[in-house]
Amino acid sequence: MTPTITAFERSPDSGRGLARDMRVRWALEEVGQPYNVRLLSFKAMKEPAHLALHPFGQIPTYEEGDLALFESGAIVFHIADRHAGLLPEDANARARAITWMFAAINTVEPPILELQTAKFLEGDKSWSAERLPLVMERIRKPLHPLSARLGDADWLDGEFSAGDLMMVAVLLRLRPSGILDEFPKLSAYVVRGEARPAYKRAFEAQLAVFTAASATG
Ligand SMILES: N[C@@H](CCC(=O)N[C@@H](CS)C(=O)NCC(=O)O)C(=O)O
């Protein structure tokens, strides 16, 4: 059965692929699973039909027959669990890859999201400029050990896995801030992720939505 995911009808990041449908698209492309996309306006995301799928009224969601999922981490894990290619066969290596998925969304991503809050929601506050360096420092904190652990390896634990997919997707959100450039090994790691054919297909698919929306005004 072909799954259906949800994504923004109008990309708030101008098609740069930073919305979380991108990591789900990427996972589906990595395992070679075709998918449908239902595009949603911000209004539709908060309406009962979508809230029945996603209690917080967000994207992405994932529907496959009777199964409806939300949370990009859970969706990518489900895809990786049901298809070959994103999690190793060996049980311990598989557990480690899942650990890196959690590290991405539970340790590395939260301070990155804080930066977006600081810039876009708190930018007009009198204390905003004073707070920003603290937020930036909290972002850097896990990046030092992450970079050291990656070292000169291509991926975090042997072959490319769902752990790398989530980590690269999370780190990509840092690029506009310039912080990623302070960590050349992580920067190169992200570029390796972007160079994967599956990533490119996913990126083009989300960009096509933005391009079509721009053309129709
Ligand atoms: N923890 C959730 C976060 C989902 C999320 O924040 N989605 C954003 C798009 S990337 C969204 O729908 N924003 C619109 C809103 O919250 O109203 C996940 O990983 O799926």
Q: How far is the CA of 137 from the centre of ligand 1 (A)?
A: 24
- The pLDDT tens digits of the residues spanning 71-93 come to 999 999 999 999 999 999 999 99
Locate tokens 């009224």: which residue? 57
> How far does residue 20's CA lie from ligand 1's centre (Å)?
7
Q: Which of 11, 13, 18, 20 to mutate to test the pocket of ligand 1 (most atoms within 8 A of CB)?
A: 20
- Looking from the CA of residue 56, the nearest atom of ligand 1 is 16
Q: Could you tell me the pLDDT band of residue 215, with boundaries at 50, 70 and 90?
A: confident
What is residue 217's predicted lDDT score, i.e. its pLDDT? 65
Ligand 1 first shell, C-beta below 6 A: 19-20, 45, 57-59, 71-73
User: What distance in angstroms lies between residue 153's CA and the mean position of ligand 1's atoms?
Assistant: 31
What pTM, to 2 d.p., does this model score? 0.96
Any residues with CB less than 8 A from the CB of 179 and at least 6 apart, and which?
A: 136, 139, 140, 143
Place of tokens 């908060």: 46
Ligand 1 pocket test, pick from 59, 71, 114 with the greatest ligand atom count within 8 Å of Cβ, gives 59
Q: Give the mean model confidence (pLDDT) for residues 103-111.
A: 97
Task: Report the residue among 21, 58, 76, 209 best suited for mutation to probe ligand 1: largest number of ligand atoms under 8 A from its CB.
Answer: 58
**Can you tell me the distance from the alpha carbon of 63 to that of 66, in angstroms, rounded to the nearest whole number?**
7
Ligand 1 atom with least separation from CA of 58 = 12
Q: Which of 114, 104, 119 is nearest to 155 (CA)?
A: 104
pLDDT reading at 173 higher than 70: yes
Q: Count how many residues are written for the chain.
A: 217
Q: How far apart are CA 159 and CA 85, in angstroms?
A: 10
In this prediction, residue 68 carries a pLDDT of: 98
3-state DSSP helix/strand/coil % of the chain, to nearest 5: 60, 10, 30
Instruction: Give CA torsion, residues 97, 166, 39, 1, to 10 deg.
Output: -20
- Residue 39: beta bridge partners? 7
Which ligand 1 atom is at minimum distance from the Cα of 105?
19
CA of 103 to the centre of ligand 1 (A): 18
- Of the candidates 75, 104, 119, 76, the one whose C-alpha atom is nearest the C-alpha of residue 170 is 104
Least confident of 86-90, 96-100, 112-116, 149-153: 112-116
Exposed / middle / buried, residue 137 (Cβ in 10 Å: 0-12, 13-18, 19+): exposed
How far apart CA 167 and CA 186 sit, in angstroms, is 10
